[in-house]
Amino acid sequence: MKNKVLVIVAHADDETLGCGGTLLKHRDNGDEVVIIFMTDGIGARNPEKNGSEEKLRMQAQKNVCAQLNVKKFYNFSFPDNRMDSVTLIDVVQEIEKVLHIQQPSIIYTHHGGDLNIDHRIVHQAVMTACRPQPNSSVHTILSFEVNSSTEWASENMGGHFIPNYYVDISSFIKEKEQLLNLYADEMRVYPHSRSIEAVMNLNKLRGNSVGLQAAEAFMLLRQIIVI
Ligand SMILES: [Zn+2]
């Protein structure tokens, strides 16, 4: 049976950093993948360069979605790095609208203890929007890690990321690297945690932790199975 997958991220590039290899597997499986990008991912860092950077990132996002065979994606315009200035219920309601339309079964989103405030708020909003009410389509919720946000947080920001779910991406690691190259402007120079080499290293480490060449690691937050 084909899966209906919804990825909910704060910024364009989080989906590739966190679960790009897994999304490539969903693509090859013929699953339907939809992505929500909650912010434009630009404003707070370089307001003076808004126009040109935004264009580059939007183009990168389009190219990545094309390679992932993502036919539908939503660009919300919540304020970048300032999602704490928005009332949580407003964020929840936007996600609920998409859940209603798309009826996904699997959700991928941020870890609730990331350093980045947008990541934490998106996590909270997703967990609220996906509360397990009768007739909810969602049966699995997974959170992923994002280099230079997940491991840079303190325990008090929402708890450490402790993976308990691994996806083997050994056959997709090269293609994940290509996806990251599409976001070259967002990547830093090695040995920065957000360098392409560091992401590859993390995926190798996660794989090696469970006897694989490369893996993406997740925390399984909820799974409903009817046997
Ligand atoms: Zn992000």
Here the tokens at position 80 are 């970048």
User: How does pLDDT run across 169-183, given as a tens digit for each residue?
Assistant: 999 999 999 999 999
Q: How far is the CA of 226 from the centre of ligand 1 (A)?
A: 34
User: How does pLDDT run across 81-134, given as a tens digit for each residue?
Assistant: 999 999 999 999 999 999 999 999 999 999 999 999 999 999 999 999 999 999
What per-residue confidence (pLDDT) applies to 69? Answer: 98
Angle between the N-to-C axes of helices 173-182 and 50-67, in degrees from 0 to 180, rounded to the nearest 10: 160
User: Can you say whether residue 109 is alpha, beta or left, with left for phi > 0 and alpha for psi between -120 and 50 degrees?
Assistant: beta
What per-residue confidence (pLDDT) applies to 48? Answer: 59
- Taking the C-alpha atoms of residue 61 and residue 82, their distance in angstroms, rounded to an integer, is 21
Q: How far is the CA of 156 from the centre of ligand 1 (A)?
A: 19
Q: How far is the CA of 227 from the centre of ligand 1 (A)?
A: 36
- So what CATH class is 4-223? alpha beta
Residue recorded with tokens 């990132």:
57
Q: How far is the CA of 11 from the centre of ligand 1 (A)?
A: 5
Q: How far is the CA of 171 from the centre of ligand 1 (A)?
A: 25
What mean pLDDT do residues 216-221 have?
Answer: 98
Kindly give, in sequence order, each residue whose CB lies less than 8 Å from that of residue 56, ignoring residues fewer than 6 positions away.
185
User: What are the sequence ranges of the domains in the chain?
Assistant: 4-223
Q: How far is the CA of 95 from the centre of ligand 1 (A)?
A: 17
pLDDT tops 60 at residue 159: yes
Q: How far is the CA of 111 from the centre of ligand 1 (A)?
A: 11
Q: How far is the CA of 193 from the centre of ligand 1 (A)?
A: 13
Beta bridge partners of 100: none
Angle between the N-to-C axes of helices 50-67 and 14-29, in degrees from 0 to 180, rounded to the nearest 10: 20
What per-residue confidence (pLDDT) applies to 52? Answer: 79
- Taking the C-alpha atoms of residue 13 and residue 217, their distance in angstroms, rounded to an integer, is 17
User: How does pLDDT run across 19-78, given as a tens digit for each residue?
Assistant: 999 999 999 999 999 999 999 766 655 555 557 788 888 999 999 999 999 999 999 999
Q: How far is the CA of 108 from the centre of ligand 1 (A)?
A: 14
Q: How far is the CA of 134 from the centre of ligand 1 (A)?
A: 31
Percent of the chain scoring above 70 in pLDDT: 96
